[in-house]
A and B are shown apart, each in its own frame.
Chain A
Amino acid sequence: MIGNLPFVVCMILVALGLWTLVVKRNLVKLVIGVGLIESGVNLFLVALGYVQGGIPPIYTYAPADAPMVLPTPQALTLTSIVIGVATTALMLAFAVVIYRHKGTLDARKIRELRG
């Protein structure tokens, strides 16, 4: 048994992502930080749906007493991955545009909007 280990790993991923957002100053690295949080959350959802010895939730041909996996977490994860792709792409696109304007990706040097 691996117990709560998957959950711990997911939380470590989320924490790493948050740490990246606080410490890093490169826009692309910030996007990677968001990606890390996202992976952590998605893995957490998948880990929640795990059933020991579970079978796919298809009633046809299924043994009478076999434990079925609830498909909801997988569906959630798929949705969340799709949303994640969209947000990451949008952020990277903005980073590209910012680079074209300012010639740098350093968050400290591009602060035109402040105060």
Chain B
Amino acid sequence: MSVHAPILVIAIPLLGGFAVPILARIHRTVRDLWVVLIACVVAAGVGYVAAQVFSQGIWVYVLGAKTPQETRVSAGFPIRIMLTVDAMSAFMGLIAGILALAAFPFAVRFIPEEEGKTLALALGLLLLAGIAGMAYTGDLFNFFVFLEVTSIAACGLIGFRTWTSRAPEAAFKTMLLYSVSGLLFLLGIAFLYGEYGALNLAYISAQLRGSMVDRIALALFLSGLLMKVAAAPVHFWAPDAYGEAPAAKTLLLVVNTQVSLYGLWRILFTLYGGKLDAGVGWLVISMGLLTMAVAALMAIGQTDLGRLVAYGAVSQIGYMLLGVGVGLVSLTSRADYGLVAMKGGIFHMLNDALTVGLLFLCVGAVEWVKGTRDLRELGGLGHQLPAVALCFLLASLALAGIPPLNGFASKIMIYEGSFRLSPILTALAVLASILLLAVFARAFQGVFLGPRTEITGRIHWVFLFSMGVLAVGIMVLGLVPGFFVEQVVAPAAEALWRGRALYLAAILGG
């Protein structure tokens, strides 16, 4: 069994998702337990894959053959679909696993039965399958298929509350953006296929000449994926989507955004690695700065707690783009500060998943007890919900990068790296962080402080469990970041920074 772990991580949530409606016919408790079980199995699976990859190097899983060499045709390229899990893929899988552990138990309690809970849980598992597929695949077309799986499942989750007027609107907008981004990506694949006649990422990467066609394809990949990661100026779908999806499922949307970001790194570093001009790096950096600035400014005027947190989430994407962009600019010169910034950017993906995830769970809990997320109507919840208030405070501080929390640990690395490239970048990034701190401090004060108000619901212990998982993660990563950076983040960053040759060798041999 264990040799098939990479494909099982994709197959189990996929089949498990389709089994959910059947199990719901038997008994609701069976269905709930099943969903939590699948989430646990997936988390264990990604953990196992990650442990293997970190200790033994790249894991190539060939569908329908034992080794990549067996599938080689006379022209020299492998013809089967391959899952190629290197340290970066394994890291992305870990993020998905951790958030699945927090999201599914929460969702089981959070989504009311009459609101189509069965289908929402099924869609959540399908989304998880798509995310795992995107993280592990080593085939461009396969990546596109999983991209579309996540798009459809995500938009289903955003818009399934069709009796409200806002959810379908958000879902339509998001679906439009996702479709266009997916099609641009597919067009990019078509260009590369037309030139090299293959779809395997490693093979194309080895053949890539940097011709005009390759550049057009790169532009298509970039525009498609930047749309999907909600980089400004095409960020506008994200607050709608994050705001309208049920809070427990928003966690998965956040991972979905991050796995698209991972796809972007894969394209930039592994597919085009070393053949890019610094201009692309600067483009990524400027998109990052624009995203963090626009999102932080937009967060100020929000009156809906969900949308406010959503803008916070979008702004964090900017930091990751900045960190990895700095790495991209210095990729050819191999300056060590580039690697520091990249480690920061990649570490920030994990930290952002935890902090933003926790914030969305807090939003869900607030909505659960008050029935509203309007900041003008909320207040004084700290009296009844001290644990939620504490979690919200913790996550807000982590999001703004206050020591000793995890957001600080990764942001300091991004600042350090970007400062060596240009102090202006760092100044802008710090400024956006301060702005976010102000916004979230105001939100915390508005929601949790003040005179006691009536609440209509009670917090279930499962909510606190899910929030606890993420809160413990935030504190542990903040207090002892060194261990995780050494063991997990550094190999992931190295896999992009220097690992291209290894990635190609794992598939193509020699």
Give the interface of A toward B (CB within 8 A). Answer: 14, 18, 21, 27, 30-31, 34, 37-38, 40-41, 44-45, 48, 70, 72-73, 76, 79-80, 83, 86-87, 90-91, 94-95, 97-98, 101-102, 110-113, 115
Contacts and interface: CB of A to CB of B under 8 A. Distances in A.
Interface string B147-171: 0100110011001001001101111
Contacts of B169: 98, 110-113
Interface stretch (B191-199, B276-284, B313-321): B191-199
B175 interface: yes
Contact of B166 (A31, A90, A113): A113
B151 A87 contact: yes
Listed from nearest, the 5 A-B pairs whose CB atoms lie closest are A101-B165, A94-B172, A97-B168, A48-B194, A83-B148
B510 interface: no
From DSSP, what is the main secondary structure of chain B's interface residues?
helix
A98 B166 CA distance: 9
A30 B176 CA distance: 8
Contacts of B301: 115
B193 A73 contact: yes
Tier of interface size on chain B? 35 or more
B228 to A, nearest CB: 14
B168 A45 contact: no
Given A41-B190, A44-B187, A45-B190, 20 more contacts: A14-B187, A31-B176, A34-B179, A37-B180, A38-B183, A70-B197, A72-B199, A79-B141, A87-B152, A87-B175, A87-B178, A91-B176, A94-B171, A97-B168, A98-B165, A101-B165, A112-B165, A113-B166, A113-B170, A113-B173
Nearest to A86: B152
B5 to A, nearest CB: 25
A87 B179 contact: yes
A21 B302 CA distance: 28
B156 A90 contact: yes
B298 interface: yes
B176 A21 contact: yes
9 contacts: A14-B187, A37-B180, A40-B187, A44-B187, A48-B194, A87-B148, A87-B175, A97-B162, A113-B239
Contacts of A38: 179, 183
Contacts of B156: 90
A48 B180 contact: no
Contacts of A30: 176
Nearest to B168: A97
A40 B191 CA distance: 13
Contacts of A37: 180, 183
From B170, B171, B176, B301, residue with most partner A Cβ within 10 Å: B176
A91 B152 CA distance: 10
B216 to A, nearest CB: 10
A95 B171 CA distance: 10
Contact of A113 (B193, B194, B240): B240
A10 B474 CA distance: 49
Contacts of B176: 21, 30-31, 34, 91
A87 B183 CA distance: 11
B179 A94 contact: no
B307 to A, nearest CB: 8
A54 B169 CA distance: 47
Given A41-B190, A90-B155, A90-B156, A34 B180 contact: yes
Interface in B349-384: none
A97 B175 CA distance: 14
Nearest to A113: B240
B145 interface: yes
B170 to A, nearest CB: 6
A91 B173 CA distance: 9
A15 B240 CA distance: 27
B179 A41 contact: no
Contact of B172 (A21, A44, A70, A98): A98
Interface string B44-69: 00000000000000000000000000
Nearest to B178: A87
B371 to A, nearest CB: 19
Nearest to B149: A83
A53 B165 CA distance: 55
B243 interface: yes
Contacts of B239: 113
A48 B159 contact: no
A89 B197 CA distance: 32
Interface in B280-294: none
A102 to B, nearest CB: 7
A80 B189 CA distance: 12
